Amino acid sequence: MTLDQRYLRAVRFFLPRRQQDDIVRELSENLASEIEERSETLGRDLSEKELADILRRHGHPIVVAARYAPRQQLIGPVMFPIYLLALKLGLGVALVVTVIVSVIGAALRGGSVPHFVDGMLAYPERALIVFAWTTIGFAVVDMASSQAQLKPDWDPRKIPDWMVGARRPDPLHDRIRAVVEVIFGVLGLGWLLMVPTSPWLAMGPLSTVLAFAPVWRIWYVPLVLVCVANLALDAYGLFHPTRTARRVTLKLAALACQLVVALMILSARVWVVAGTAVRSEVVPAHQLPQLLTWVNTGVAIGFGIVIVLTLIEIGKQYYRLRTLGDGRHAAGAEPDGASSTNAER
């Protein structure tokens, strides 16, 4: 990827999605014209340093993208795109936390809809807090900088990969990551397959007085299938470490199934019951109800954590899918001006 293409993709990252194509096309044509004119003046191809000087004069990608944003009073155009991104992330995280807390709270209090609704009613307050502090924080930063532009001597050759939706390929790192994922996937699946015949693997010494609730008869097989699907995708990545849109889409589908299974198991409210033969030397009979409460609470918290982590992973995979899509689209859109000039150089 050439320097001007990286620059255009970095600008694209900060643009409103509906305007990306038109703005990048216009900017690409302007850059191509300026590069061609400078090259004809010198009578030779531009060096990387000369190309970087042209891009530097155009401005940092954040500043260039901000010129197309609506004028804001409280937060200037330089900080506004970053402010919107931070606000969306903050509100999203607050919503996820509220949903998880509401689901767990409703499950622990009988799983009734009113309890879930009561928990969700806390979201407007959390969202207002996130909005207020995010807005105040960015307003202070914008005011402190006096709406100053980013350093004029910035180096276009140091545009970070995350701005252009690219990551430098590192096969060794990807394969090591895939190996670790496969190892943990095999261990997890093996453990899950042995639990029905060896319940002590899940409950330890309490397996002599506790038993699995009926919910596991329904959702055990789907849970195993989800683990198998994730393991298969990880194993595929061991031999083909490069991410593709199809692979990320399949991973998203597996994570969605994992989320559904986890939510359905969590909605059962009871995951462990008293065994058929309670041994008083392990747990006194009068302490068994309290023990069941604590164990089921622990399971609820555990599945709540699983759901949160799954949602986070879904967000990461969705970002990767969008980045891959934008990357291919940008690669096809940018050559209108930039790549034609590059071919001449």
Same domain (yes/no): 190, 284: yes
**pLDDT tens, position by position, 238-248:** 887 777 788 88
For residue 280 the two structure tokens come to 């008083």
Same domain (yes/no): 128, 179: no
**pLDDT tens, position by position, 164-200:** 655 555 566 667 777 888 888 899 999 999 999 998 8
Same domain (yes/no): 247, 132: no
Helix, strand, coil share of the chain (percent; to 5)? 75, 0, 25
Model confidence pTM above 0.75: no
Same domain (yes/no): 107, 181: no
Q: Please check whether residue 301 lies inside any domain of the structure.
A: yes
Give residue 153's pLDDT.
58
Give residue 110's pLDDT.
56
Same domain (yes/no): 179, 325: yes
Q: Please check whether residue 306 lies inside any domain of the structure.
A: yes
Q: How far is CA 80 from the centre of its chain?
A: 22
Same domain (yes/no): 201, 285: yes
Same domain (yes/no): 213, 273: yes
Residue 105: domain span: 80-150
**pLDDT tens, position by position, 99-126:** 777 766 665 565 567 777 888 888 888 8
Find, among 123, 119, 113, 67, the residue nearest to 90 by Cα.
123
**pLDDT tens, position by position, 129-170:** 888 888 887 777 766 654 444 555 566 776 666 556 555 555
Same domain (yes/no): 103, 176: no
Domain boundary among 119, 150, 181: 150
Q: Please check whether residue 214 lies inside any domain of the structure.
A: yes
Same domain (yes/no): 176, 141: no
Q: Please check whether residue 280 lies inside any domain of the structure.
A: yes
CB contact at 8 A, 24 and 32:
no
Q: Please check whether residue 42 lies inside any domain of the structure.
A: no
Same domain (yes/no): 120, 243: no
pLDDT value at 48 more than 90: no
Same domain (yes/no): 250, 102: no
Taking the C-alpha atoms of residue 43 and residue 36, their distance in angstroms, rounded to an integer, is 10
Q: Please check whether residue 95 lies inside any domain of the structure.
A: yes
Regarding beta strands 272-274 and 210-212, do their DSSP bridges make them parallel or antiparallel, or are they unpaired? antiparallel
Domain count, the chain: 2
Domain boundary among 88, 121, 150: 150
Same domain (yes/no): 146, 175: no
